[in-house]
Amino acid sequence: RNHPECYEEIVEQFNEMKEDRKRMAGDPAIRTRYPKYIGKYDEAAYVERNRDRYEYREYRIINDASFLSRTKVQWPFLKSVGCAEQIRILVVRDKEGNDITPSKEQFLKEGSSRQPFPGKGDRENMDIQVVGIVSDLEMSAEEMGRCKRNHWAVENRLHHVLDDTFREDRSPARGSRNNLALIRKYALNVIRLVQIQTSNQSPVSEMMDLLNDEQDLLGRYIFGPIESLYYKKTL
C-alpha cells in the first residue's frame, strides 16, 4: 500500500502463480510456468477463531525479488517477496444461537448475512485483505506470517485493550483526552506488572476487579514504590 507500483507487481505475480499451481494440481503431468522459482517458493495457511470472527490467513513467499522490475533498482537489497491474504468472516448465529457461519468457500462466493458484499483490497478494514511484503532476508512462509503477526502485537496488546476494556474510543473527553490517555496507559502498565510479578495471567478486566478487591495489592502497586524489573539492588 505504501508503494503502489510494487504492490501491483507483487499481487499480479502471486495471482499468476496461484493459477499456475491450480492448473498443475489438476494434472500432475503439467509443468510449472515458473521453473526458476522451484525451491524458492513456499506457502502456509492458517485458520483461527478470533473474538467474533473467523480469520483465514494464507502466506506465500518467493526468495527471489528479481521479478520486481519497477522497483529492483530502487531496492537492490531485497531477497524475498511475499503476499499475505487474510479473510475475516464475522460469526453468524441462528435464532437458537447456533453457529451457522459460512465456510471460506461459501463466503467468497456468496458473502454472508452480516457481510453480504465482502470488500477486497489492502486496507485494514477490508473483509478480504491482500498485502504485499518485501524483506532483505530469506525466509519461509511460516516465518513471514510470524513477522506479520508480531507487527500487530502492539495493536492487540495495547490499543485493543485500551479501546475494549478502558473504553478509550467512547470517551467524550476532548480537552483532557491526552491526560486521560496517559492515565489509562499507566493503569494498564500497573496491571501488566501485577500479572508478571504474581504470575496471574487473568484477563485485564479481571485484574482490575482483583486490584479493587485486594487492598494490600492496590496499596503496593498504586501508592507504594514499584521495584524495577531490570535493576536488582545489591547489598
**pLDDT for residue 153:** 67
C-beta of residue 63 within 8 angstroms of C-beta of residue 122: no
CA separation (Å) from 99 to 52, 55, 93, 94, 134?
11, 15, 5, 7, 38
Q: Is the predicted pLDDT of residue 231 greater than 60, yes or no? A: no
**pLDDT for residue 155:** 63
What is the spatial distance between Cα 127 and Cα 72, in angstroms, rounded to a whole number?
31
C-alpha cell at 56: 483465514
Single out the residue of 144, 193, 109 nearest to residue 14, CA to CA: 144
Percent of the chain with pLDDT over 90: 38
DSSP-assigned letter for residue 99: B
Instruction: Kindly report the number of other CB atoms within 10 A of residue 166's CB atom.
Output: 20
Rounded to an integer, the average pLDDT of 201-211 is 84
Q: Is the predicted pLDDT of residue 232 greater than 60, yes or no? A: no
CA angle 110, 82, 54 (to 5 degrees): 35
As a residue count, the chain comes to: 235
Q: Report which secondary-structure segment, H or E, holds 205.
A: helix 204-213
C-beta of residue 61 within 8 angstroms of C-beta of residue 82: yes
Residue 235 — pLDDT band, cuts 50, 70, 90? Answer: very low
C-alpha cell at 235: 547489598
Q: Is the predicted pLDDT of residue 230 greater than 60, yes or no? A: no
**pLDDT for residue 229:** 60
Residue 172 — pLDDT band, cuts 50, 70, 90? Answer: confident
C-beta of residue 89 within 8 angstroms of C-beta of residue 101: yes
For 75-126, the pLDDT digits (tens) are 889 999 999 999 999 999 999 999 999 999 999 999 999 999 998 877 767 8
